[in-house]
Amino acid sequence: MTGPRLLATSDLHVNRTDNQALVRDLHPSDPGDWLIVAGDVADKVADIRWALALLADRFEQVIWVPGNHDLWTPPGDDVQLVGPERYDHLVEVCRSLGVLTPEDAWPVFAGHLICPMFLLYDYSWRVRPDMAGLSVEDALAVAREAGVVATDEFLMASRPYDGPAAWCAARLTETRRRLSERPADLPTVLVNHWPLTELPLRVLRHPEFSLWCGTTETARWHVEHDAAAVVYGHLHVPRTTWEDGVRFEEVSVGYPREWQRHDLLRGPLRTILPAPEPEVPDPFTAWALRQGARWESVR
Ligand SMILES: [Fe+2]
Ligand SMILES: [Fe+2]
């Protein structure tokens, strides 16, 4: 027993049977372990509730942030709420389970302020060089031409906001306000489903997908807000990177066909605190390089 840890996972996608089995096997190793679930739990509210209830029962504290899949309104879901109303509903589900969300007071773990955030995306990351400088409309047209369109465009509504970029702008304003009020003496752990920086996007098999992967507005937040670690998912590329001396942990499990290939080299739960000894390169990166770095693309 090593004492309580802050653990993280994401992209559990429990609407897949193999992933459901994987979640059933998730247990704390210390009764005091906390667990961050960084979005994309499932597509339907009942599945999200099932997974979070199971985890909330086992871990001392579960912290959830929404991913794009959690915000979809798929046909056949009993809950047909869209956009911010759907998010508010999921926050209520979490509260009924004792799970913390971006709408709750930020908790402290081992001397670190844990900041669950919901920031969405605004199509501003342009990894494909010829997309830089294009309007959102033109960039989306280029992606469409390349055959790359995120399913969000069909299943995630933003009403009453005029699209995800407007919703994202509102989330940025509110989150900046909260960050400006944080206690100055605590280092942070920044948690968001979408990456905060560009570096992790450079390995996307389809660079057009960067449009749906966050916002350039957060590119310096890890420095400006004294981050000890940044936790995110969405890319299904579960690796550790370092920028400006800050550890970035992509903690996604991903779809069975993805994790069965790399065999979840470090398991489905990543240790965030206490900070583990760095493995350089991390086992996933080493594996991917052996494969010729044929990374999975974002979903
Ligand atoms: Fe995902
Ligand atoms: Fe995602």
What's the total number of domains in the chain?
1
CATH code at position 138: 3.60.21.10
Strand partners of residue 7 = 35, 271
The pLDDT value recorded for residue 275 is 95
Distance 5 CA to ligand 1 centre (A): 24
Residue 284 pLDDT exceeds 90: no
Residue 60 in domain? yes
Distance 193 CA to ligand 2 centre (A): 7
Residue 295 in domain? no
Position 116: which residue type?
P
Residue 91 in domain? yes
Ligand with the closest atom to the CA of 67: 2
For ligand 2, a single-atom ion, the residues with CB < 5 A are 40, 67-68, 234
Residue 296 in domain? no
Residue 272 pLDDT exceeds 90: yes
Residue 59 in domain? yes
Ligand with the closest atom to the CA of 194: 2
pLDDT digits (tens, 9 = 90+) for 174-223: 999 999 999 999 999 999 999 999 999 998 999 999 999 999 999 999 99
Distance 235 CA to ligand 2 centre (A): 7
Residue 272 in domain? yes
Residue 297 in domain? no
Ligand with the closest atom to the CA of 68: 2
The pLDDT value recorded for residue 60 is 98
| CA distances (Å), origin 54, targets 11, 48, 94, 185 | 16, 10, 12, 34
CA distance 203 to 97: 37
Residue 297 pLDDT exceeds 70: no
Distance 167 CA to ligand 2 centre (A): 16
The domain of 183 spans 6-290
Residue 1 in domain? no
The pLDDT value recorded for residue 80 is 97
Distance 1 CA to ligand 1 centre (A): 32
